[in-house]
A and B are shown apart, each in its own frame.
Chain A
Amino acid sequence: MSKILVIAEHLHGKLNPATARAVSAAAAIKPEAIDVLVLADSVDAIAGEAAKIEGVSRVLTVARAENAHPLAAVLAPQIAKAANGYSHVLAPSTTFGKDLAPRVAALLGVAQVSDVMTVEGAHTFTRPIYAGNAIVTVQADASHTVVATIRTASWGAAASGANNAPIETLTVDTTLPSHTRFVELQQGSSDRPDLQSASKVVSGGRGVGSKENFDIIYKFADRIGAAVGASRAAVDAGYCPNEMQVGQTGKIIAPELYMAIGISGAIQHLTGIKDAGTIVAINKDGEAPIFEVADIGLVGDLFKIIPELEQALS
């Protein structure tokens, strides 16, 4: 039988919603137990949130000052120790999970499955390759621990509230390296919905034209309560910060509504939005590839259309 360890992702004392998505994937393996591991300097609030997620059997905590920031070199040896007795170690396929999980896998001497889309069996998974243009079924060796990252856009968050899993302190006896040190985190301040968990996302591309013009995208997104994303071209041109990039090498999202405004739709961008419920494209070029995937398309000048949209909404 399977026993699964899910690595909790958190920031500023709050559990990241990606963790509950990884728990959903864990549940699909139909395991005997799903334990969530919280590594932090101060664990109580995070562990409390994790304990409420449906399907979680236990929350294990390791509170150490060294765990204040998510440094893979520091966390990985602790996870490799904690993995003893588990058939699977799962982390969300966020920058946190992508940085950490391969380090854990290598310490355990096992291959890693990246970006699990579906669970076909305890050791059989599907995952995307070539920017999502092919989906492969991969089988992990059943005699080893499976280390995998979970493609968050493919999994809904496990429900939260009804569960009350026990929280236990875990002692991990391992010396931690000091060769890697956290300096700072520079964050854009935003009270908009989180891009990766938002149900609506409005994205702007090169067609928006400038950083100043991007205000029209922010304003419209706020009007409909959406998060704001961007294409690589918009980020490269300096219209908006990197954490807004949607695509193969940025964030992969699956909102109910995705509105691509002034985005041509390069393969690498489409990879990031393939699982969106409804895709709307607004572009002045009727031949733009974005229209091939859009559920609703509108050809025209975004600077004319957005004010009209706002008017139609009021």
Chain B
Amino acid sequence: MKILVGYKRVVDYNVRIQVKPDGTGVVTDGVKLSANPFDDIALEEALRLREKGIATEVVVVGIGPADLTAHLRNGLAMGANRAIHVVTSEAVQPLTAARTFLKLVEKEQPGLVLMGKQAIDDDANQTGQMLAALWDRPQATFASKLEIADGKATVTREVDAGLEVIEAELPAVVTTDLRLNEPRFIKLPDIMKAKSKPIDTIEFASLGVEAHDHLTTTRYAAPAKRSKGVMVKDAAELVAALKQKGLL
């Protein structure tokens, strides 16, 4: 079985984002970029499935500008067999990303597509679900446990009410939650090895994906700031302050 892994590059999760004063976007020049943390978890899970002999090939997929290649090399260094780079300089919204993935799915015929549950930049939480809908295959979102046997995936999902277990016939789309696994670190020799692994480059325009995005962002704003709080010196003072506010 082949596994496709969505591997997005985002502003590193430790960076405190600044909105541009003119409201046209957020400052990304010179800001550290990293793999979306949920995508690292997706890749790790794919590698573990290969190590168990369930998967035969793990392919990382990125959609983005020419310099995304360096990011895909990280995925190869972590252990993916090869990478697909769909090249576009345009920002790609989830529906377009899902349509792009569908084209790759039709060509590659994977048994499983693993994606992060959300990207920490747009926080959309949509692409996996949209791909599953367009592909007309099962989806298992927010996975914290994944078992594959007899042509089906048994997935434990982190839902508001607790943990839900579902069964999905393969091929399927699974999106990863934080507790699925702990991604491995990349070792130096693997970075060297990754240099000789193949990256297929595909021009976005050649895929024939309808890229008409229906959402237009008209303004970026900084969130409302909370007013400065007060410090109290002990428990009695805290209780008094909360009682005064009518909260206790």
Contact = CB atoms under 8 A, between A and B. Distances in A.
Given A111-B215, A129-B122, A185-B161, 12 more contacts: A98-B125, A99-B139, A134-B17, A135-B221, A181-B168, A249-B177, A267-B16, A295-B227, A296-B230, A296-B231, A298-B235, A308-B235
28 contacts: A71-B166, A72-B132, A102-B126, A103-B129, A112-B126, A113-B215, A129-B123, A130-B123, A131-B120, A133-B17, A133-B222, A134-B17, A134-B223, A135-B220, A136-B220, A140-B214, A141-B215, A177-B138, A183-B166, A185-B164, A186-B162, A242-B144, A248-B123, A278-B242, A296-B242, A305-B234, A312-B239, A312-B240
A232 B13 CA distance: 14
A96 interface: yes
A184 interface: yes
Interface in B88-129: 93-95, 98, 117-118, 120-129
A180 B163 contact: no
A133 B179 contact: no
A130 B126 contact: no
Give the 8 A-B CB pairs with smallest separation, nearest first: A308-B235, A102-B129, A106-B133, A102-B126, A106-B130, A187-B162, A183-B165, A111-B214
B120 A130 contact: yes
Interface string A273-314: 010011110100000000101111111100001001101110
B242 A180 contact: no
A184 B164 contact: yes
A99 B214 contact: no
Interface stretch (B152-160, B186-194, B195-203): B152-160
Contacts of B168: 179-181
B92 to A, nearest CB: 12
Interface in B195-236: 213-223, 226-227, 229-236
A236 B180 CA distance: 11
Interface of B: 11, 13, 16-17, 19, 26, 93-95, 98, 117-118, 120-134, 136-142, 144, 154, 157-169, 172, 177-179, 213-223, 226-227, 229-242, 245, 247-248
B15 to A, nearest CB: 9
A94 interface: yes
B179 A236 contact: yes
B179 A298 contact: no
Interface of A is mostly: mixed
Contacts of A177: 136, 138
B121 A200 contact: no
B132 to A, nearest CB: 7
B235 A268 contact: no
A144 B1 CA distance: 38
Contacts of B229: 279, 291, 293-297
A68 interface: no
A237 to B, nearest CB: 11
Contact of B159 (A73, A95, A101, A291): A95
Interface of B is mostly: mixed
A107 to B, nearest CB: 5
A106 B95 contact: yes
Q: Which of A98, A188, A224, A293 has the most CB of B within 10 A?
A: A98
B121 A182 contact: no
Interface string A107-142: 100111111000000001010111111111111110
Interface in A10-40: 11
Contacts of A249: 117-118, 177-178
A179 B133 contact: no
Nearest to A225: B248
Contact of A132 (B132, B142, B223): B223
Contacts of A98: 125, 141
Interface string A84-96: 0000000000111
A297 B234 CA distance: 10
A67 B189 CA distance: 51
A242 to B, nearest CB: 5
Interface in A152-189: 177, 179-188
Given A200-B247, A313-B239, A242 B214 contact: no
A299 B231 CA distance: 8
Contacts of A282: 238
A298 B141 contact: no
Given A102-B94, A130-B121, A268-B13, A179 B138 contact: yes
B38 to A, nearest CB: 8
A275 to B, nearest CB: 9
Contacts of A268: 13
Nearest to A249: B178
A267 B154 CA distance: 33
